[in-house]
Amino acid sequence: MILNLDEAKKIRKKLKEESKIVVFTNGCFDLIHSGHVDYLTKAKKLGDVLFVGLNTDNSIKRIKGEKRPILNQDERAFILSNIKAVDYVCLFDEDTPEKIISELIPDVLVKGSDWTIDKIVGREIVEANGGKVITIDFVNNQSTSNIINIILQRYK
């Protein structure tokens, strides 16, 4: 389900009252591939409910440049929300997910193992509230950038 931040906060409050473990991760998720699905499936196993913070198109342009994203935020949100492991998708327009993490205060914050724990945005917020920060190993070297490069090489 795709939510705005206010809706996400209401659901988070209800889940907390129900003692559900809320897992949060975030990213651009441009050109969703098997690595994303594997990562999200592993993240979901760390709790009861998985929230995904999704960078808006404007946010991605600031982070990755004017040629990204490939798929717009509505398409990416729709695809993500239909992945079995994902319960909720919430877009954020900032360059980092700090605001959404501080609003939701998940029980578990997850990022890929290409991030060191001390560099994960929101770590202090989650840990200060008794939560855990966990990194997940990638099973393959799949990435959106790799897919784009393959397409460019094949169709020169």
pLDDT value of residue 29 = 95
Q: Which residues contact 66 (CB under 8 A, 6 or more apart)?
A: none
> So what's the pLDDT on residue 141?
67
Predicted TM-score (pTM) of the model is 0.93
Total domains, the chain:
1
Residuewise pLDDT in 10s, the chain (156 residues) = 999 999 999 999 999 999 999 999 999 999 899 889 999 999 999 999 999 999 999 999 999 999 999 999 999 999 999 999 999 999 999 999 999 999 999 999 999 988 999 999 999 999 999 999 999 987 766 777 788 888 888 987
Q: How far is CA 48 from the centre of its chain?
A: 16
Print the domain residue range for 79.
2-154
Q: What is the CATH number of the domain that holds 78?
A: 3.40.50.620
pLDDT at 126: 98
The answer for residues whose C-beta is within 8 angstroms of residue 9's C-beta and 6 or more apart is 103, 104
CA–CA dist 43, 111 (Å, integer): 9
Name the nearest CA neighbour of 70 among 57, 55, 83. Answer: 57
DSSP state of 45: T
